[in-house]
A and B are shown apart, each in its own frame.
Chain A
Amino acid sequence: MRITEHPILTFERGKELNFTFNGQPMKGFEGETIAAALHAAGVKVLAKSPELHRPRGFYCAIGNCASCQMVVDGEPNVRTCITLLREGMRVETQDGKGKIE
């Protein structure tokens, strides 16, 4: 899902990072958001809605709409579209509003 050739832009990706998504090992790059890394790996469903548990992906990508909130390193409601990926992050689908551990 990554763009390799582009007429205007060159994408200089940072260091490769390891993280997990629902326990599965994944790879992304330094300098990209959690949502971008997941999307590049083909993961579009990031959360389930609070009432009807419908699948949720990102929508605005500017940290405004709350559609991309996930559980990151045990913490719920992290806006993954504006949060940078870090080495060793544990990223999990959030079902509903999330709980404080």
Chain B
Amino acid sequence: MREVELLIIGSGPAGLCAAISAASSGAKVLVLERSFRPGGQLIKQTHMFFGSESQYASHRGVDIAGILLKKVEEFGDRIEIMLNATAVGFYEDNVVTVLKGEKEYFKIKAKSVICATGAYEKSLAFPNNDLPGIYGAGAVQTLMNVYGVRPGNRVLMVGAGNIGVIVSYQLMQAGIEVVAVLDAAPRIGAYLVHASKLARMGVPILTSHTVKEAIGTDCLEAAIVCEVDDRFRPIPGTEKRYDVDVMCISVGLSPLNELLAMRGVEMKYVAQLSGYVPMRTENCETCIPGIFVAGDASGIEEASSAMAEGYLAGLCAAAKLGHVPADFEQRREAYLKQLNDLRSGPVGDRIRAGMKISQL
């Protein structure tokens, strides 16, 4: 069985920053990535990020992946990224079982583990929601921005949060018609700057609307939408039909952290963080010493906070393994301050409340 010092599961923004941070302190790191390329979901983000310079604001996500991977290369002798490798089990004594490709299955034993497994897109319940042509908004983003393939010709976007409006705009950049964006909530959840771009392009954003049903035999052909009242109940007689071959579901993300639950880490349902999350300390350490969490796996936020959490978790995990840099406390405080800043203001209210509930 292969033994490693620090195992990081996931090579998205949190995982890569954790690896860079830990390696810069002197730890030897193995990163597992289930896709055939590193970078997680950064690789499909063609919009510029907000935030501050320390989280690469005003860079496009796809370029940030490149910047981080270059930093990883600088620690070439201390960081190994294993691609096509899915962590499928996490057992006592920190044994992680890995499926590499479709054939190889083996165990890895780690002294310390950082779980940076990210999130998955939620679905929405309505008749025929399983028809091909109905996709996660992020999936469509991957298809068009990474592979340059059109998802279809006419799109209905369900969800007016940041992902919904950003992907709608990106669909239009790729020359695809977006017939409408709808959201069950009475107001647009996305940042105004993103929503305004869409409104200027003439795309209607329908608040207090939901999908009643999808229509199609082999693939999506149309969607019936309707208005909802203030308790989200459909209002009869308000149905509208849109002839679309694509529907994007953008109703939020859920943390992906079953591995931690399997390992026996204390979990808690925290609505503000969008699902079950591990209880953890300020330093991102769970109730099991040496097991850390970073990024969306610890609660849904943005890529900027995922990076700051990754740096913090990497620093603290390495320190626990005996790699304590001279400027440990300054660095720790700097990352905590970055996180504080990112979660400040009214937009961060929910996150701050969620953090309080999930704190050990």
B149 touches A1 (CB 8 A): yes
Report the interface size class on chain A: 35 or more
- B136, CB-defined interface residue at 8 Å: yes
- B102, CB-defined interface residue at 8 Å: yes
Interface string of B106-140 (1 = CB under 8 A from A): 00000000000000110100000011111110111
B143 touches A39 (CB 8 A): yes
- Please, which residues of chain B bring their CB within 8 A of the CB of A32? 147, 149
Contact A3 B132, CB 8 Å, known A44-B219, A61-B139, A75-B102: no
- B218, CB-defined interface residue at 8 Å: yes
- B233, CB-defined interface residue at 8 Å: no
- B145, CB-defined interface residue at 8 Å: yes
Task: Report Cα–Cα, A2/B120, bound state, in Å.
Answer: 26
A33 touches B139 (CB 8 A): no
A36 touches B139 (CB 8 A): no
Instruction: Name the one of B34, B132, B134, B150 contacting A45, with C-beta atoms under 8 angstroms.
Output: B132
B34 touches A33 (CB 8 A): no
- Please, which residues of chain A bring their CB within 8 A of the CB of B133? 44, 57
Contact A9 B138, CB 8 Å, known A57-B132, A60-B121, A65-B120: no
- Please, which residues of chain A bring their CB within 8 A of the CB of B138? 60-62
Distance in Å: Cβ of B158 to nearest Cβ of chain A: 13
Distance in Å: Cβ of A28 to nearest Cβ of chain B: 10
Interface string of A27-65 (1 = CB under 8 A from B): 000001100100110001110010000111111111111
- B222, CB-defined interface residue at 8 Å: no
- Please, which residues of chain A bring their CB within 8 A of the CB of B102? 75, 78, 83
- Please, which residues of chain A bring their CB within 8 A of the CB of B174? 3, 6
Instruction: Name the one of A3, A61, A64, A78 contacting B148, with C-beta atoms under 8 angstroms.
Output: A3
- Please, which residues of chain A bring their CB within 8 A of the CB of B123? 59
- B86, CB-defined interface residue at 8 Å: yes
7 contacts across the A-B interface (CB closer than 8 A): A8-B60, A9-B46, A11-B147, A44-B132, A60-B139, A61-B136, A83-B36
Q: Which residues of A contact B (CB under 8 A)?
A: 1-3, 5-9, 11, 13, 32-33, 36, 39-40, 44-46, 49, 54-65, 67, 75, 78, 81-84
**Pairs of residues from A and B, 3 with the lowest C-beta to C-beta distance, nearest first:** A57-B132, A11-B148, A61-B139
